[in-house]
Amino acid sequence: MKINTNTWNKCRYTLYSPFYNLISRVFLQSRQKAIGLLAVKPGEKVLLIGAGTGLDLDFLPPTALITATDITPAMVARLIRRGARLQLPVNAQVMDGQCLTLPDNAFDKIVLHLILAVIPDPVRCLQEAERVLKPGGQIVVFDKFLQPGHQVGFFRRVANFLTNFLFSNITRRFENIVAQTNLKVSLDQPANFGGNFRIILLQK
């Protein structure tokens, strides 16, 4: 039986939503750094895919035109409330990041934070982000990936059965994912937990 499905993700993140912000505080600095790399300009259209409770909203300028999506209604409800507290207009929608109901070439900047290691099909998710990104636009990724050249050890494979059930996959290679797109890597740097998390900037 497949563990990582949209149905299971909705269930587990509905359960996690009341505690998500507390658990995710450890990543706030990396979120801020990643979004800073996009240098969002006034009037630019920004898309957050797998936006969760909206923690990234804190680091976006009020002059941006923000759309935020997540597959879990409970997370989107919290995102809407966060946007209201920040007085930040946000077009928040419940949506599958593997099948975006958004037009081609519509966004200047896209944020993919802690989604590619969670979503069932990360290749499809990144391809969808590429599709809705304008030519010359940028995507910033912050997530956990195997470090380049590292092999998946036995204990990591075993641990992945548990982590994949509880929160995310810990055996994914970003290089294999991005290779299925035409996106170009312009920056790739280590982030949290000794480089097991990375901040990656892509350009279309």
Distance of CA 34 to the CA centre of its chain: 11
pLDDT reported for residue 59: 98
Taking only the tens place, the pLDDT of each residue in 115-156 is 999 999 999 999 999 999 999 999 999 999 998 878 888 888
The domain segmentation of the chain, as residue ranges, is 6-203
Taking only the tens place, the pLDDT of each residue in 170-188 is 999 999 999 999 999 999 9
6-203: which CATH topology? Rossmann fold (3.40.50)
The vertex-138 CA angle with 90 and 198, nearest 5°, equals 95
Alpha helix locations (H) across 17-112?
20-23, 28-38, 73-85
Side chain identity, residue 10: K
